[in-house]
Homo-oligomer: A and B are copies of this chain.
C-alpha cells in the first residue's frame, strides 16, 4: 500500500492486524520500530504509537521498552468488563429497580473478611445484607462489610434510601478493587433470599475496594439463577 492512506490510528491498527492475521508477521517476530512504520505508512509517529499500544493492550503485540515490539507468542486476549452500579444495570434493561436492607448491624467480622479488610482482631465493622430487585423479583443480594474508619459519613447515611452500593460509588472515591467470579450451590439461606430452589447453581462476584491503602468495603454478590455477565473482545 502507498503512504497517505494511513491518516488515522485505526487504519494503521487494521493494517498491522491484517499482517499478523495473514502471518506476514508471525508469532514471535520482531516488527519494524515506530519510526520505520511511520515512514512506511506516511503518518505521524504518534499515530503508529497509538495503534501499537491498542494492539498491545489487547494482547496481540508484546512491547518491551528496549528490546522492541514482537508479535505475541502466547497471546493472552484481554476482554473488558463493565462494572456498573446495580441500579443502573437493572434500569438499563428497562426494569424497575428496588432494594431492601435485610439486616444491618455492627459486628466483628469472620477471620476471612478480617484478613481481606486488613483490620485488627476484635474491631467491629458495619455488616449489611441488601437485596436488589428487578421488577419486584430478586435479582442479586449483597453481603457487605464496610470499614467505618475508611468511610467518612457512613454512620449518618440512611442506606435504606440509597443502597450501600450506590451510596459508596457516589460518595467515596476509590483507587482500585479486586474482583473474583465463581459459582456456588444455593443453600437454605440463598434459596430463601433469592426465592429459588436449594441446590441451584448461582453466579457469585466477590469484590473488595480500597482507597489510600485502606480497604473500604468487601462484598459478596450472589445472583439469582439465570444471571449472565457479557463482554466482547
* Chain A residues within 8 Å of B, Cβ to Cβ: 17, 20-23, 27, 46, 59, 74-85, 88, 169-170, 173, 175-186, 199-204, 211, 223, 225-233
Chain B's closest residue to A74 (CB) is B88
Given the complex of chains A and B, what is the CA–CA distance between A81 and B77 in angstroms? Answer: 8
Please state if A200 and B203 are interface contacts (CB–CB under 8 Å): no
Please state if B199 and A199 are interface contacts (CB–CB under 8 Å): yes
Please state if A76 and B80 are interface contacts (CB–CB under 8 Å): no
Please state if B80 and A78 are interface contacts (CB–CB under 8 Å): yes
Please state if B81 and A78 are interface contacts (CB–CB under 8 Å): yes
Q: 12 other contacts beyond A200-B201, A201-B201, with CB at 8 A cut-off?
A: A20-B173, A74-B88, A76-B88, A78-B80, A177-B233, A178-B230, A178-B231, A179-B231, A181-B181, A181-B203, A182-B228, A183-B223
Q: Choose one: B83, B85, B181; the contact of A229 (CB below 8 Å).
A: B181
Please state if B84 and A179 are interface contacts (CB–CB under 8 Å): no
Q: What's the nearest-Cβ distance from chain B to residue A61, in Å?
A: 14
Given the complex of chains A and B, what is the CA–CA distance between A199 and B228 in angstroms? Answer: 19
24 contacts between A and B (CB under 8 A): A21-B211, A76-B82, A76-B83, A76-B84, A76-B85, A77-B82, A77-B177, A78-B81, A79-B81, A176-B233, A178-B231, A179-B232, A179-B233, A180-B229, A180-B230, A181-B228, A181-B230, A182-B227, A182-B229, A183-B225, A185-B199, A185-B200, A200-B201, A201-B202
Hey, which chain B residues are within 8 Å of A169, CB to CB?
Answer: 75
